[in-house]
Structure 1
Amino acid sequence: MLDPARLLLAGWHLAGRLPEDLVRGVMHVAAEVTWLRRTEGVRRLERNLARARPEADGAELRRLGRAGMRTYLRYYGEAFTLGRLTPEQVSARVRAEGAEPVRAETDAGRSVVLALAHQGNWDLAGAWATVHLAPVTTVAERLEPAEVFEEFVRLREGIGLTIIPLDAGREVFRDLVRAVRAGGALVPLLADRDLTSRGIEVELLGETARVAAGPAALSASTGSLLVPTTIRHERLRGARRRAAGARWGIVIRFHPPIRPEAGVARSVQVARLTEQWVAALSRDIAEDPTHWHMLQKVFVADLDPDRLARQR
């Protein structure tokens, strides 16, 4: 039987030698086939999207799931070819909203923590941000096999990002604090899914979910601004499409910054900061759920009760 991870790696190497339009077309077909097969990931995506559209019937949820799989596989197609884009193409493919407060902080030599979800193309967003805003430092979940993880690290370091591997026993949080305190950095963290036993339970789309404490804890520990950041794909037209060399780009939405409260316990700061950035994420997902690529369990009602009890 073919190993999906090895197949992904082989496809990545092949995609690097193919025209970008062909890669996008292949990933579109892959999305359609995956959706039609009704894999566990597709069904989980649709169950997650149902929280954003509680009134939707089965047909509507399947439509959302199909659109969601297209944007999810579009991300991979773009990742496979991201390393060969010119700076001009990266700039044309990205549009930013609300970046002024972030730029003011980094221009003043202060770092900013960004709380992100699995939306749009966060790698393309990082490639743009490290040129147009500030140097980017972030964390990467270690994948198996190691070759796949190393390929993602090479991609991200090749576009100018500094990567801290999420390794067992490594003082990742201490490394992040050091990066923030050095000043003038952007530290985006994907946090809509808890990968540890230290997650925070918070309301997401009207239901209790378990998210990562990292962005809020880092902001509370350093006093830096926390900025909820959402990303969507958008169709490109006219001169921008010609400059980008692609039909699709992204819009990065920097939501109003949140500053840690003074005079309250750190645990309270972390809880309140998390509630606020997740509320911004909830509004964005509810507006258009198909850009949220969440094929795993995040809602407490879906989690294993015994494991959840141990974590609590």
Structure 2
Amino acid sequence: MSGATARLTDLGFAAGWRAVRMLPEPAARRVFDRAGTWAAGRRGKGVRQLTANLRVATKERLGEAELDELTVRAMRSYARYWQEAFRLPSMDHRRIVEETELVGLEHLERVRNEGRGLILSLPHSGNWDAAAIWFIDWLGGPFMTVAERLQPESLYQRFLDYRESLGMRVVPLTGGERPSSTVLREWLDDGGSACLLVDRDFGRAGVPVTFFDRPTTMPSGPAVLADQTGAAIIPSTCQFTGRGWRIVFHPEVPVAGPGRLRDRVAGAMQGVADGFTASIGEQPEDWHMLGRIWADVPPDPGPP
């Protein structure tokens, strides 16, 4: 990205944050809903990859017309995420807490009652920033997460400030004063909680898993941290409801036990993938995966 393009990108996000907050919520939602429909109709590379991914997530049971309709709903869902992201700092956080439906909360409560740390492993689904507001309220304090460095640096700082304004503690994946894994381990050792997005293909650096019956990889970090600190891994999926939000918490994925660490880590991340498969499969339109996650699933062909 050239310096001029990077600067324009940052300015575009800054303008979006200001403009969307000024709109009444119904108007903002209509604008972004139309934008999602428009983006789906353009069928750019990301949208075509989303369609290919949704074909796998629905186990190829949909006809092409139904799949196209699902892609439109998914892009509207993705647009809703961005509309809410721009508005969250000025939204009533109490409303978000009250309008968030919870499935499987007992899995979190059991871990908290045991005094252990929590690692919520999430896919790119629904609005994880809104879920963060609920989680911080439930914890009574911050949790830690990791952020990849965006270009330009000013845009990365803008997102860093945004997420910290919601109450998160954010550490950079690379380029920090200390390795992010070290900072996370110390935080979890003290009984803290962390949220980590993990539905991405890590290639040779990742752990092999089966996701929707196809091989891919996921990062080993959550399982390694759980083994080091005794924290619990809880696969968690965010979804949208009509005007609110839903978080689905799955049972703890075990890591401790006999056998080699490598095998236990692989087993734990397979458990995470299985949890994602179940909840994404129930509401696939909220899975915003516009990137390639399976090596053998390229984007659908472009327009002729």
TM-score, normalised relative to structure 2: 0.89
1:19-38 equivalences in 2 (<5 Å) = 19-38=24-43
Please report how far the alpha carbon of residue 168 of structure 1 lies from its aligned counterpart in structure 2 after TM superposition: 4.4
What is the one-letter code of the residue matched to 1:180?
L
Contact 2:120 2:234 in 1 (8 A): yes
Alignment match of 1:147 (pick from 126, 151, 154): 154
Q: 1:301 aligns with which of 276, 279, 296?
A: 296
Gapped regions of structure 1 (runs ≥ 5): 236-247, 304-312
- SS state at 1:89 partner: helix
Q: Distance in 1 between matches of 2:92 and 2:54?
A: 35
Bigger CA drift: 264-273 or 53-62? 53-62
Does residue 1:87 correspond to 2:82, yes or no? no
**Given the superposition, is the C-alpha separation of residues 149 and 22 from structure 1 closer, same or farther in structure 2, using an over 3 Å criterion?**
farther
- Return 122-131 or 196-205, whichever deviates more: 196-205
CA-to-aligned-CA distance 1:219-266 (integer Å, 9 cap, x gap) = 12222211110111001xxxxxxxxxxxx2111111111222322221
Q: Name the CA distance, whole Å, in 1 between partners of 2:10 and 2:74.
A: 21
Percent identical pairs in the alignment equals 32
- The yes-or-no answer on 1:230 pairing with 2:237 is yes
- How many residues are treated as equivalent by the alignment? 290
User: Which amino acid counterpart does residue 186 of structure 1 have in structure 2?
Assistant: S
Shift of 1:210: 2.2
Find the aligned partners of 1:191 and 1:76 in 2 and give their Cα distance.
Answer: 20
Q: Which moved more, 1:281-290 or 1:165-174?
A: 165-174
- Of 17-26 and 203-212, deviating more is 17-26
Q: Distance in 2 between the 1:64 and 1:5 partners?
A: 31
Asked if the contact 2:97/2:133 (under 8 Å) is kept, the reply is no
Supply the distance in 1 between the matched residues of 2:51 and 2:220 (Cα, whole angstroms).
25
Amino acid at match of 1:264: G
- CA deviation map 1:71-116 (0-9, x unaligned): 1110010011101122321212312121223133235432111110
Give 1:206's match in structure 2, choosing from 210, 213, 223.
213
CA drift at 1:195: 5.5
Moved over 6 A (4+): none
1:258-293 C-alpha deviation (Å, 9 max, x unpaired): 222322221111100001110111111222211110
Aligned 8 A contact 1:224 1:259 in 2: no
Aligned residue in 2 for 1:41: 46
Asked whether 1:114 is paired with 2:120, we answer yes
Where does residue 103 of structure 2 map in the other structure? 97
Q: TM-score, normalised by structure 1?
A: 0.87
CA pair 61-5 structure 1, distance change in 2 beyond 3 A: farther
Q: Aligned pair in 2 of structure 1 residues 194, 213: CA closer, same or farther (>3 Å)?
A: farther
Aligned partner of 1:290 in structure 2 is 285
SS at the partner of 1:261? Answer: coil
| CA–CA distance in structure 2, aligned partners of residues 173 and 228 of structure 1 | 19
> Residues of 2 paired with 1:265 and 1:168: CA distance?
31
3-state secondary structure, aligned to 1:301: coil
Aligned equivalents of 2:21 and 2:161: distance in 1?
13
Aligned-residue offset at 1:124: 0.5
